[in-house]
Amino acid sequence: MDQGDRDWWRNGIFYQIYPRSFGDSDGDGVGDLRGIIARLPYLTRLGVDAVWLSPIFPSPMADFGYDISDYTGIDPLFGTMEDFDDLVAAAHDAGLKLILDLVPNHTSDQHPWFTEAKSSRENPKRDWYIWRDPAPDGGVPNNWLSEFGGSAWAYDEASSQYYYHAFLAQQPDLNWRNRDVRQAIYDVMRFWLAKGVDGFRVDVIWHLIKDADFRDNPPNPHYREGRPPHEKILTQYSTDQPEVHAVITEMRHVTEEFDNRVLIGEVYLPLHRLVAYYGNDLSGAQMPFNFALLSTLWSARSVETIIADYEKALPSGAWPNWVLGNHDRPRVASRVGPAQAPVAAMLLLTLRGTPTLYYGDEIGMRQVPIAPDQVRDPFERNVPGIGVGRDGCRTPMQWSAEPNAGFSSARPWLPLAHDFARDNVASLEADGASILNLYKAMIALRRGLPQLVHGSYEPVAAQGDVLLYRRRSAEGVAVVALNFGAQPATITSSAIGFSNEVLLSTLMDRQGEKIEGALDLRANEGVILGPHQED
């Protein structure tokens, strides 16, 4: 099935949708597939190229879809398989690619595979999961911890063994050393690829293989009180094992059975370990997600260092990617502040590599405070009081000032931001200087300026709160200047290197301005200059 350029993912812009929160078509307060279909015209106006959906498969929703009970179905909460087929067709008709979330590390404890595995030690599916006898003292097999609190081992009284769960006890980990497990998941991939999906984002891909000897993890010498308790130990033996790369290569081979598909890996690891997940034409993931910007200190020098380290660490031929927000981390507008959110947007859309936007970031959605009686996130429920809850970044998309922000005719499953009547798509589309129209302008500029798509990245020395770099291609040079500070800054003409004009300012008011000498940046302003055609 030929759906265009093989390297489309290098040139495109990805947009993550959390399906529960994007558009509700049936009035139950929860988003669904028909709600997404209805909003595809908005995505085409925005200018993105690919849509990535968080899980939509049948699930008891212990972790809101990341606990799958049927890999080849659609949860009725989101609609039907016919709705999904219509979504694929509508997305492709609109020129959009569609990416699904693949969750192969664990299933729901209500998946038929686990029901069989739990039925007896002799069941053929027993080895599809990870079972261990108790320790000599009758306790857990080792010191591995669940990311959602407590031990990662749950005791099954019927069989007198423990099973491993890296997350909730309702999410038992699959045994990826078992060939039958691998083939079953590969068949799942083929099922969806045959339906026309354009690739997968693979959840916690670095977790898939565990240490064969189940050795205790070492303590984390840098653990700080107030951090999630699972961080007390390093995951030396429970994640990022060398054998995982052979598994990812097999996954890549499955996607290569179909034309022009992409394999993206979720990998929360330091850069020097992250880059090992890159592959080539026949191995690895095309894009292991780079989350470095999600947790860095928001300063020009800190971001400059991250970019330099990433560019230096990339293997030959590897394609970079950048992320500023997702369904697990606080909203970027809350992390960096509303004044810096436009600067963050310009950074994301002008760095070398593929950018991924998180729904609502383009309208400046902020983290919504969640009252204790409204918490839905199992992470926050299991580990309360230290701010690990993810509900605040998963609240409904703010479409209009209408009741429930135009998201639903019913009360939404999570509370809305108090300012949705002001900060919503309808009002911001009507405001020429809004962050939404800035995103649209930057995406359009990126599409029309080859330097910003495939040009090289060249850092330029700058001082204080200014981050400065060039994007150079055969078509010429563009300059990006970002002021991370709340005070004006001046960049000398020698730093810029040549005469330019302002192609775009984050304040949306300088387009066409000629820069013959120094460039004056206002507080919290970013500009794109050029293009300059070299001799």
- Which residues does 132 contact at the CB level (< 8 Å), separation at least 6? 141, 142, 153, 161, 162, 163, 164, 214
What pLDDT was estimated at residue 468? 97
What are 239's two structure tokens?
A: 């994640």
Residue 535 annotated as catalytic? no
How high is the pLDDT of residue 1?
30
More confident residue, 500 or 202: 202
- CA–CA separation, 263 vs 242, rounded Å? 19
Amino acid (one-letter) located at 220: N
Kindly indicate whether the domain formed by 112-164 is annotated with CATH number 3.90.400.10: yes
pLDDT band for position 256 (50/70/90)? very high
81: phi then psi, degrees, rounded to nearest 5: -65, -30
| pLDDT above 90: residue 495 | no
Amino acid letter, residue 312: K
Q: Tell me whether the omega of the peptide bond preceding residue 531 falls within 30 degrees of 0, making it cis.
A: yes
Q: Where are the domains of the chain?
A: 10-107+179-441, 112-164, 456-532
pLDDT for 208-231, tens place per residue? 999 999 999 999 999 999 999 999
Specify the pairing of strand 131-132 against strand 161-164: antiparallel
Can you list the positions of beta strands (E) in 174-245?
A: 199-202
Q: CATH assignment of 10-107+179-441?
A: 3.20.20.80
pLDDT interval class at 534 (50, 70, 90): low
> Which residue shows structure tokens 């959605």?
365
pLDDT per position as a tens digit, 385-437: 999 999 999 999 999 999 999 999 999 999 999 999 999 999 999 999 999 99
Q: Is the pLDDT of residue 325 over 50?
A: yes
| Residue from 257, 281, 520, 534 carrying the catalytic annotation | 257
Q: Examine the residue annotation and report whether 256 is marked as an active-site residue of this protein.
A: no
Pairing, β 456-460 against β 466-473: antiparallel
| CA atoms of 408 and 447, how far apart (whole Å) | 33
Out of 75, 101, 198, 203, the active site residue is 203
DSSP letter for each residue of 267-318: --S-HHHHGGGB--SSSSBSEE---HHHHS--SHHHHHHHHHHHHHHSPTT-
Whole-number Å distance between alpha carbons of 511 and 444: 14
CATH topology of domain 456-532: Immunoglobulin-like (2.60.40)
Listed in sequence order, the DSSP H helices in 423-526 are 425-429, 435-448, 450-454, 493-496
pLDDT, position 190: 98
Given a cut of 60, is residue 24 above it in pLDDT?
A: yes
Q: Does pLDDT of 2 surpass 60? A: no
Q: What is the CA radius of gyration of the chain?
A: 24
Q: 71-111: per-residue pLDDT in tens?
A: 999 999 999 999 999 999 999 999 999 999 999 999 999 99
Average pLDDT over residues 345-374: 98
pLDDT tens by residue, 136-170? 999 999 999 999 999 999 999 999 999 999 999 99
Average pLDDT over the chain reads 96
Question: Residue 475, CB half-sphere, CA atoms under 13 Å: how many?
Answer: 12
* Per-residue pLDDT at 50 exceeds 60: yes
Residue 3 has pLDDT above 80, yes or no: no
Phi first, then psi: give them for residue 280, nearest 5 degrees.
-120, -150
Residue 426 sits at the vertex; the CA angle it makes with 35 and 410, to the nearest 5 degrees, is 45
Average pLDDT value for residue range 265-290? 93
For residue 310, is pLDDT > 80?
yes
Residue 123 has pLDDT above 60, yes or no: yes
Q: Distance between CA atoms of 364 and 60, rounded to whole angstroms?
A: 32
3-state secondary structure 47-78: CCCEEEECCCCCCCCCCCCCCCCCCCCCCCCC
pLDDT at residue 535 in the model: 45
**Predicted confidence (pLDDT) per residue in 513-533, tens digit:** 998 888 999 999 999 999 766
The per-residue pLDDT for 494 is 78
d(CA 350, CA 379): 34
pLDDT at 531: 79
